[in-house]
Structure 1
Amino acid sequence: MILCITHSNDFYNIDLFFEYLTSKNIPYFRLNSDHLNHLQKISVGEDSFELTDESGTVINSRDIKAVWHRKSWGIEVPGELDEDYEKIFLKEYGSLRYNLFTILEDLPWINPFGKEAKIDGNKMFQLRIATKHHLHTPKTLFSNDEEKIKAFFQEYCHGKAVAKLHGAIKKSMNGENFLSTTIIDQDNLEHLADIVYCPMIFQPYIEKEYELRIVYVDGEFFTGKINNSENADWRVGHESFFWSAYELPEDIQRNLTSMMNEMGLYLGAIDMIKGRDGNYHFLEVNPQGEWGMLQKDLNFPIAQKIADFLITRLQ
């Protein structure tokens, strides 16, 4: 049996994955991480666990032979729970979930649980490894220090920088609508007084020809090019953008492969920019990043490749 750890609102990518496993007569179990709570019956022993999900299906960890940790969402709190108990509810169910995952850590995962946890969201660590493997990376500062940020801007950014969050918030520090990536120039550089409450990543703005979303699956590349040369984030004004298939140069593939090997990742969604300077600039890798648009628009068999990776490793 293949276990897929996801969440209750996940669809499309996961549906394609399950359809392919069904076509190969491979049993699977969908574990909704946000419902690892009072909705499920869970008993974890020293070397195994038994779980009954919200639909009444029972699994034992001894039947699981491989794992895809697609997404872990926040655990859902029951509405009737007194708010005084919410913190302990989340702490103990979080601990139970972690214990459950580690029971499975010696099985084949895509990606290995511990290695993925170290890479996911660890931007500076990623950039250090990418640079080691001969990939162009932008000068980067992760800071909550207004003066250090201004000094970085003056030294490296030539009048224009990109500021990034790991997540997204609805409003910026001055009350405007905000995405996880925004442009900083000399005029709005002065609006950093609240940075102490929200550390951000700063990089020089790269003049680009286009952006690339590269899905790496165990040595194979599925690359989409999006015709965004102006916006810091292609999700802004996305109605006018479209994906097209793209062939990465062999040296970039080779460098990315050696980077992923050092990170210990079999799967990752890599963001790069083809700059007007002719270079391919590495931005980041999300070990479980989004790729459904590439499969849908470009017919890339990504879900099937992920499934094949796990099928070939079933014990």
Structure 2
Amino acid sequence: MNKILIITHTADNFSIEKVTEYIQDNHCEVIRFDVDLYPLQNKLSTVFQDGEWVTMLETPEKKYRLDDISAVWYRRAYNIGKGLKEEMDAKFLSAAMGEIRNTLFGFFESIDAYSLGKPSVYRRLDSKEEQLKIAQKIGLSIPETCLTNNPEEARQFILKHQNVVAKMQTGFAIYEDGVESVVFTNVVSEDKLEELDSLLYCPMQFQKMIQKKKELRVTIVGRDIYAFEVDSQQFEDAKVDWRKDGVNLLDKWVQTELPADVEEKLLELLDIYNVDYGAIDIIVSPEDEYYFIEINAAGEFFWLDKLTEGNLISKSIADVLCDKAPRRDNVVMV
């Protein structure tokens, strides 16, 4: 029986269970590695001796051999080292966490099997600049864009385009008194030009604001495309960034079809990155022009999966992992 390794954490959502069900329907075994239980509860060992590499994962429930797995889904790596702060001297914590992360990511990168996602793949897809350049090169429309820490460059861009939005390139949040405040996309008006001097300390991405007829979230798994649209303009807080009022929009998404040429270009985008999963954000203008905004290497899909008959996104993920559906060439060690 083929073994599929799922790398995630204990607080992940129900999508793990749905994918697991479909993997088991394909007569494959699932091994779940919750990284937040490492190293206090999960033990990971890799040994080379007698000419053979062997990797063992020991969880509170069972001991697994991992060097003979057939595929891995690198889903999430949150809260690594949870609880370690309370267990060891503070002066050793930073060094220990460095070793923990290096050991884990070294193992994830070295798995000699098909991998749906990898830390190195996620790092590459973190580059919004590369995404936009590739998208534009293959013929997708993108908004006029300025990435800078130069206040004057930003001012000139804003004055030229008038309606401009500012966004961070990462999952940016500010923590104060234990409270997390997520930084969403915001409109930058001319009366805010004097506040741009702080760019010197932290670059930002500015884009010409695209008027929205609707917004799309397109989830691609292998060659399967699941496109959903929402009218984000029906709620004031969602007009600029739908995530800001995402809860009110949860039941407003509907499955839709993409123009054939847009589908082809999105598949080409995943071909270039050589990945079998991507969650893509698109804005459709009142003139029905499709603007590529970004691709998320591990973008969430659970709320859309529930809108398909039988959680089809989860099924596609399971089929790719079990080699029941076409895969892109995945580089493994020779």
Q: TM-score, normalised by structure 2?
A: 0.85
Give the Å deviation of 1:313.
Answer: 6.5
Change (3 A) 1:124 1:58: same
What is the distance in 2 between the residues matched to 1:286 and 1:61? Answer: 28
Judge conservation of contact 1:162–1:205 (CA < 8 Å) in 2: no
Supply the AA of the counterpart residue of 2:102: S
Question: 91-100 or 146-155, which moves further after superposition?
Answer: 146-155
Change (3 A) 1:171 1:154: farther
What is the distance in 2 between the residues matched to 1:171 and 1:103? Answer: 34
The partner residue of 1:233 within 210, 223, 241 is: 241
Change (3 A) 1:50 1:226: same
What is the distance in 2 between the residues matched to 1:152 and 1:206? Answer: 15
Supply the AA of the counterpart residue of 1:33: V
Give 1:69's aligned residue.
74
Give 2:114's aligned residue.
108
The partner residue of 1:52 within 58, 73, 88 is: 58
Give 1:129's aligned residue.
134
Q: What CA RMSD, in Å, does the superposition of the two structures yield over aligned residues? A: 2.3
Supply the AA of the counterpart residue of 1:88: A
- Are positions 1:88 and 2:88 aligned together? no
Give the Å deviation of 1:144.
Answer: 2.2
SS in 1 for 2:316: helix
SS in 2 for 1:235: helix
Judge conservation of contact 1:2–1:65 (CA < 8 Å) in 2: yes
Give 2:40's aligned residue.
38
Give 1:21's aligned residue.
23
5+ residue gaps, structure 2, are: 326-334
Question: 132-141 or 211-220, which moves further after superposition?
Answer: 132-141
Give the Å deviation of 1:65.
Answer: 1.0
Supply the AA of the counterpart residue of 1:236: K
The 5 Å alignment of 1:1-315 reads: 1-46=3-48, 47-53=53-59, 55-77=60-82, 78=84, 79-104=86-111, 106-111=112-117, 114-119=120-125, 121-155=126-160, 157-170=161-174, 179-229=183-233, 231-241=239-249, 242-299=252-309, 300-312=311-323
SS in 2 for 1:260: helix
Supply the AA of the counterpart residue of 1:130: A
What is the distance in 1 between the residues matched to 2:22 and 2:324? Answer: 16
Change (3 A) 1:251 1:138: same
5+ residue gaps, structure 1, are: none
Change (3 A) 1:211 1:254: same
SS in 1 for 2:242: coil
Judge conservation of contact 2:162–2:190 (CA < 8 Å) in 1: no
Judge conservation of contact 1:215–1:269 (CA < 8 Å) in 2: yes
Change (3 A) 1:195 1:74: farther
Give the Å deviation of 1:190.
Answer: 2.2
Question: 199-208 or 32-41, which moves further after superposition?
Answer: 32-41
Could you report, residue by residue, the CA deviation over 1:71-111 in whole angstroms, capped at 9, with x for unpaired residues? Answer: 1224224123222111101110011102211330x311113
Change (3 A) 1:240 1:9: closer
Judge conservation of contact 2:40–2:81 (CA < 8 Å) in 1: no
Could you report, residue by residue, the CA deviation over 1:261-315 in whole angstroms, capped at 9, with x for unpaired residues? Answer: 011111110000001232100011111101111111344500111100111269x
Change (3 A) 1:284 1:165: same
Identity %: 27
Change (3 A) 1:195 1:31: same
Could you report, residue by residue, the CA deviation over 1:177-198 in whole angstroms, capped at 9, with x for unpaired residues? Answer: 6533222111223223333343
What is the distance in 1 between the residues matched to 2:90 and 2:118? Answer: 35
Judge conservation of contact 2:4–2:69 (CA < 8 Å) in 1: yes
